[in-house]
Amino acid sequence: MSAERIRILRKSGGAFPVRGKALFKLTGADCRRYLNGQLTIDINRLQSGESRRALLLTAKGKLCAPIQVWGEGTGFIIETEESLLEETAARLERYIISDDVTISRIPERMPVYHVFGVPLPDDAIRINRIGMPGYDCPAPPTEIPAADDSDVELLRIERGIPLWGSELTADTLPQEAGLDQSSVDFDKGCYVGQEVVSRLRSVGHVNRLLRRFSGSLPTPLDSPVSLLSKSDPDRPAGTLTSAARDFELAQTLALGYLNREFVDALHFLATDGTGKVIGELEKRPV
């Protein structure tokens, strides 16, 4: 990463290879109705040429898998993390009883690149991977700047996009990571886990919330990093989950969870596993 390259990517867009994804295709006369009863979004609202983020939840409202979903012919394509292949397949099949639904794994694709921050071709599927509109293609246009892994990590942290294995785990509730804003339709019909998600929205609250930070902090994070409020350093305030150096702005950007009682605090101390202060961070606007 360089300051000049990240400046260009922010201003003009770029492209990066899509790796570590698993895809499934759902077909059959009942696939639309069945899938709508599994996902947190209303797939009847999917527009042609559009992918949307959605969630597969457990009955207790916790994450099974974050997904992207789009239509293909009379069926649907679901993309999730390759590490969640078995869990996603089992979860998709679990509630099929007498439904006319076939779920098949799509073999590994040829190299795919994601292009972002530029006008989309007319025949492209719109897909948001790092917090800005984009599309996938076999090879990006030659004039599009290439983004490496560190660039992509910075851009997704900057835009507050949670990642499985970092911000998201099987213990995450959608509201904790802000996924209720991007991946849940609250006015749709029933789906697995809806009762918990709706109850938290109407009469409850979660105990932690994902937030963005900036400041001074060594990267990468070699060990768990805890947060203390500068105004109340005797109580744990939260935990960082991801961090990346922003060479253009000469600071570190980070994501992490704040305990609910500290979500209004602005300034934090970052400490390592021994309790040593290793940096100072300021909470960024939501």
pLDDT at 219: 86
For the whole prediction, is pTM greater than 0.75? yes
Instruction: Give pLDDT tens digits for 171-214.
Output: 999 999 999 999 999 999 899 999 999 999 888 889 999 999 99
Provide the H-helix boundaries in 163-245: 179-182, 194-202
Level-2 CATH architecture, domain 8-205: 2-Layer Sandwich (3.30)
Q: Do domains 8-205 and 207-283 have the same CATH topology?
A: no
C-alpha span between 37 and 70 (Å, rounded) = 16
Length of the chain: 286
For 11-51, write each residue's pLDDT tens digit: 999 999 999 999 999 999 999 999 999 999 999 999 999 99
Q: Angle 149-158/3-12 helices, nearest 10 degrees?
A: 60
Task: Give residue 34's pLDDT.
Answer: 96
- At 230-273, the pLDDT tens digits run 999 999 999 999 999 999 889 999 999 999 999 999 999 999 98
Domain residue limits, the chain: 8-205, 207-283
pLDDT of residue 77: 96
Confidence (pLDDT) at 203: 82
Q: Is 147 helix (H, G, I), strand (E, B) or coil?
A: coil
**Overall fold of domain 207-283:** Elongation Factor Tu (Ef-tu); domain 3 (2.40.30)
Give the pLDDT band (50/70/90) at residue 81.
very high
The answer to whether the CB of 111 falls within 8 A of the CB of 136 is no
Q: Over the chain, what is the mean pLDDT?
A: 94
- Residue 285's pLDDT band (cuts 50, 70, 90): confident
